[in-house]
């Protein structure tokens, strides 16, 4: 990733690649995850996508995208540790393949979408705000339909509360009634003036292309003091594991277990944690998959994942209600084996190969590379996936054992299925 400061608080990030026939252009606004603004942050991109000053109806924007050789546009929010990013993303055919300066037109479209919204009576369109509030309400309420995601969200909330990392980035239904077109517009203006901004360009980006993008957006982005949102590393601080059970009418139960790892995301221990999670529950040959699911048939699925930003591990499992204790005990047993260093060299070699394949596959996806380097920028690093792979090579079983011993259970959230 190549970087250039446009002005204070605004950076241009370039991921050059000749592998794709399309380019990607994104704008990211970094803001803290706060209870009083999380719902407005989730609502804002949807309202902006409904219409602009020049094109007040969505169908007009859709027609313009079609005229840009069917370019695509997306917007939303994405959690990053104790912060979140509002993103506006476009994919379009690279100029070299159509013989015209499509980039200039794409920049003009994105500038209009983000910086020239439809304003009425000192706020956003009341019709659009009310419509998107209804859509967001339905999206929040529909979380329960994805039982696995619901259990993981509730577990995270139980671990950290309704602040920072513990919040659901889609927001909360009870906040929607208080949001007005004027209050949402005031929040929007604050984000534009104060938030740290990253502009990402991915694909065939020569000097002329970058110059067009810079000139097209720099006038809208004034210098600001905003920086990346600092995330506090999660460390074991609970005297006793908290157990939470919620009953729902369902045939299958969900078990979500939250663990705090205490590993600095930019430190050397992270590489051992990455391998440790792969061996424990992050691969098809992991201890959780091979024992909890395959050998003992205690779960429909059993897997773990880590969040590098916050240093949190979450174990997710779908089980029959009557198998809760057996499944929980087996998960504890497999974690104890990891902490005792009961890992074969052949397993470690397989884990390194598995992660190598996954990291290498990032080069096949513009979105994956963009998100990877966005996290790198937040961490103050510029490590390519290939460099990360090289950092995994010297890690041995003793380092994995040491880092897994730091991983401690914090919360057990049991979404208990009961007959209706």
- Residues 6+ away with beta carbon under 8 Å from 409: 241, 257, 258, 259, 332, 335
Which of 91, 89, 118 has its CA nearest to residue 26? 89
In this structure, the answer to whether residues 253 and 173 fall within a common structural domain is no
* 233 inside domain: no
259-308 per-position pLDDT tens digit:
999 999 999 999 999 999 999 999 999 999 999 999 999 999 999 999 99
In this structure, the answer to whether residues 39 and 151 fall within a common structural domain is yes
For residues 35 and 167, the answer to whether their CB atoms sit within 8 Å is yes
In this structure, the answer to whether residues 160 and 303 fall within a common structural domain is no
Give the helix/strand (H/E) hosting 311.
Answer: none
pLDDT above 80: residue 116: yes
pLDDT above 90: residue 183: yes
Residue 420: predicted pLDDT: 60
The neighbouring-strand residues paired with 249 are 418
* 235 inside domain: no
Tokens for 24, please give them.
Answer: 């990607």
pLDDT above 70: residue 415: yes
* 248 inside domain: yes
Residue 310: left (phi > 0), alpha (psi -120 to 50), or beta? Answer: alpha
Residue 163: predicted pLDDT: 78
CA distance 299 to 117: 49
- Residues 6+ away with beta carbon under 8 Å from 357: none
In this structure, the answer to whether residues 60 and 189 fall within a common structural domain is yes
DSSP letter string, 37-57: THHHHHHHHHHHTT-BSS--S
- The band of 99, judged by pLDDT with boundaries at 50, 70 and 90, is confident
For strand 253-260 and strand 408-418, is the pairing parallel, antiparallel, or unpaired? antiparallel
What is the mean pLDDT of the segment spanning 238-257? 94
CA-CA-CA-CA dihedral for 27, 33, 34, 36, to nearest 10: 40
Tokens for 232, please give them.
Answer: 């506090």
Which of 75, 378, 11, 36 has its CA nearest to residue 187? 36
Residue 315 belongs to domain with CATH number = 3.30.830.10
CA distance 223 to 268: 34
CA-CA-CA-CA dihedral for 298, 337, 391, 362, to nearest 10: 0
Share of the chain above pLDDT 70, in %: 100
Examine the fold and report which residue of 158, 187, 220 is the final residue of a domain before the chain moves on: 220
In this structure, the answer to whether residues 15 and 117 fall within a common structural domain is yes
For residues 71 and 88, the answer to whether their CB atoms sit within 8 Å is no
* 228 inside domain: no
295-341 per-position pLDDT tens digit:
999 999 999 999 999 999 999 999 999 999 999 999 999 999 999 99
In this structure, the answer to whether residues 145 and 278 fall within a common structural domain is no
**Rounded to the nearest 5°, which phi and psi values hold at 181?**
-55, -35
pLDDT above 70: residue 55: yes
For strand 408-418 and strand 242-249, is the pairing parallel, antiparallel, or unpaired? parallel
DSSP letter string, 232-279: PPP----SS-EEEEEEEE-SSEEEEEEEE----TTSTHHHHHHHHHHH
CA distance 319 to 35: 33
Examine the fold and report which residue of 220, 255, 275 is the final residue of a domain before the chain moves on: 220
In this structure, the answer to whether residues 186 and 271 fall within a common structural domain is no
For strand 119-120 and strand 196-203, is the pairing parallel, antiparallel, or unpaired? unpaired
- Residues 6+ away with beta carbon under 8 Å from 233: 262, 263, 264, 265, 310, 311
In this structure, the answer to whether residues 209 and 77 fall within a common structural domain is yes
* 405 inside domain: yes
End-to-end CA distance of the chain: 53
Examine the fold and report which residue of 187, 220, 253 is the final residue of a domain before the chain moves on: 220
The sign of the CA dihedral 377, 382, 383, 385 is: positive
* 237 inside domain: no
* 27 inside domain: yes
* 292 inside domain: yes
Q: Domain limits at 201? A: 2-220
In this structure, the answer to whether residues 213 and 302 fall within a common structural domain is no
Residue 218: left (phi > 0), alpha (psi -120 to 50), or beta? Answer: alpha
| Number of compact structural domains in the chain | 2
In this structure, the answer to whether residues 119 and 86 fall within a common structural domain is yes
């Amino acid at each position: 990733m190549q970087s250039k400061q446009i002005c204070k608080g605004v950076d241009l990030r370039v991921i050059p690649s000749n592998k794709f026939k399309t380019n990607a252009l994104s704008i990211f606004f970094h803001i803290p995850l706060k209870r009083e603004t999380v719902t407005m942050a989730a609502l804002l991109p949807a309202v902006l996508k409904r219409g602009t000053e020049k094109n007040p109806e969505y169908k007009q924007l859709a027609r313009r995208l079609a005229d840009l050789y069917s370019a695509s546009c997306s917007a939303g929010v994405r959690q990053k540790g104790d912060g979140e990013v509002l993103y506006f993303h476009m994919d379009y055919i690279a100029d070299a393949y159509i013989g015209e300066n499509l980039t200039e037109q794409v920049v003009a479209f994105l500038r209009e979408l983000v910086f020239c919204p439809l304003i009425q009576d000192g706020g956003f369109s009341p019709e659009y705000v009310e419509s998107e509030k209804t859509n967001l309400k339905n999206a929040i309420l529909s979380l329960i339909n994805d039982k696995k995601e619901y259990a993981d969200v509730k577990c995270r909330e139980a671990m950290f509360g309704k602040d920072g990392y513990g919040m659901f980035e889609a927001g909360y239904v009870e906040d929607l009634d208080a949001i007005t077109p004027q209050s949402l517009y005031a929040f929007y203006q604050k984000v534009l003036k104060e938030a740290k901004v990253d502009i990402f360009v991915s694909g065939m980006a020569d000097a002329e292309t970058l110059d067009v993008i810079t000139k097209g957006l720099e006038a809208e982005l004034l210098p600001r003091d905003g920086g990346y949102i600092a995330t506090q590393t999660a460390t074991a601080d609970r005297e006793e594991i908290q157990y939470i059970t919620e009953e729902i009418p369902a045939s299958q139960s969900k078990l979500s277990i939250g663990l705090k790892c205490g590993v600095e995301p930019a430190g050397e221990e992270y590489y051992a944690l990455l391998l440790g999670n792969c061996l424990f529950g992050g691969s098809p040959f992991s201890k959780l998959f091979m024992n909890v699911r395959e050998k003992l048939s205690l779960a429909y699925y059993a897997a773990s994942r880590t969040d590098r930003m916050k240093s949190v591990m979450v174990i997710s499992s779908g089980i029959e209600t009557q198998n809760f204790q057996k499944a929980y005990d087996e998960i504890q047993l497999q974690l104890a084996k990891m902490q005792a260093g009961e890992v074969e060299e052949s397993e470690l070699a397989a884990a390194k190969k598995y992660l190598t394949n996954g990291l290498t596959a990032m080069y096949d996806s513009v979105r994956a590379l963009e998100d990877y380097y966005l996290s790198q920028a937040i961490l103050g690093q510029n490590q390519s996936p290939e460099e990360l792979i090289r950092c995994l090579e010297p890690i041995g079983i003793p380092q994995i054992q040491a880092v897994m011993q730091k991983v401690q259970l914090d919360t057990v959230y049991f979404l208990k299925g009961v007959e209706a």
